[in-house]
Amino acid sequence: NAGVTQTPKFRVLKTGQSMTLLCAQDMNHEYMYWYRQDPGMGLRLIHYSVGEGTTAKGEVPDGYNVSRLKKQNFLLGLESAAPSQTSVYFCASSYGQGYGYTFGSGTRLTVV
Amino acid sequence: GENVEQHPSTLSVQEGDSAVIKCTYSDSASNYFPWYKQELGKRPQLIIDIRSNVGEKKDQRIAVTLNKTAKHFSLHITETQPEDSAVYFCAASILGTGKLIFGQGTTLQVKP
């Protein structure tokens, strides 16, 4: 079992460019999440999904879009990157309510 | 909105001493409270969790206590070791969503 796999691990974007972060899990988890981590601000939820074909907004959704076309994959898109989106992005998955998360290894994104 | 406050933001102890990290949550319907440890450059990993029908849970040197009336919960680490040095995050579930709201994190330094 690979658990939760994120690609890429590092990326540098220019302002205005777009990109997609991929999260894949092999644990048959229903729920998947995208968080961003910034110094002193903990982990903030961007978007999440409670099942294939469903998505919902978290605390900081602006500037991001997501898709969950397959149960095992959860994609995070940045349509027009801004320097404020420089962060470490973590994907996570869980069985559902009342269960802990398994996190991916993170993607360090820098927008210049 | 839902909020989790975590204190202290930094904690330095001597090896062998105990460490206590405290969190307060705002949503009285929260019923699941996990703790995560994040080593430098690594992903957060679940170390212990507690549900609202339990007041205390222990796993070797780690224990968590929950006071639902006061809406706070705490992580206790006894006999600290240098390898306990990391950032620790508390979290509280949001009923009906599968979401976790995280505290801001505590950087624990254990001095040899």
Question: According to the model, what pLDDT value does residue A21 have?
Answer: 98
> Any bridge partners for residue B45, and if so which?
B37
Phi/psi class of residue A96: alpha, beta or left (left: φ > 0; alpha: ψ in -120 to 50)?
left
Hey, is the C-beta of B98 within 8 angstroms of any chain A C-beta? Answer: yes
A vs B: CB pairs below 8 A: 57
Mean local confidence (pLDDT), B31-58: 94
> Who contacts A65 (Cβ-Cβ below 8 Å, separation ≥6)?
A47, A76, A77, A79
Question: According to the model, what pLDDT value does residue B34 have?
Answer: 96
Which has more confidence, A1 or A73?
A: A73
Neighboring chain B residues of A60 at a CB cutoff of 8 Å: none
Neighboring chain A residues of B34 at a CB cutoff of 8 Å: 100-101
Element containing residue B14 per DSSP (H, E)? strand B10-14
Chain A closest CA to B46's CA: distance in Å? 7
Q: How far is CA B8 from CA A37, A40, B111, in A?
A: 18, 12, 17
pLDDT tens by residue, A25-60: 999 999 999 999 998 788 999 999 999 999 999 999
Task: List the single residue in A42, A50, A104 with the smallest CB-CB distance to B43.
Answer: A104
Mean local confidence (pLDDT), A61-71: 97
Mean local confidence (pLDDT), A7-32: 97
Question: According to the model, what pLDDT value does residue A53 have?
Answer: 94
Task: List the single residue in A40, A48, A96 with the smallest CB-CB distance to B104.
Answer: A40
- What tokens appear for A49 in the block? 């999904």
Q: How confident is the model at residue B66 (pLDDT cuts 50, 70, 90)?
A: very high
Cβ atoms of A13 and A111 within 8 Å: the answer is yes
Mean local confidence (pLDDT), A84-109: 95
Question: According to the model, what pLDDT value does residue B67 have?
Answer: 95
Nearest CA in chain A to B97: A97
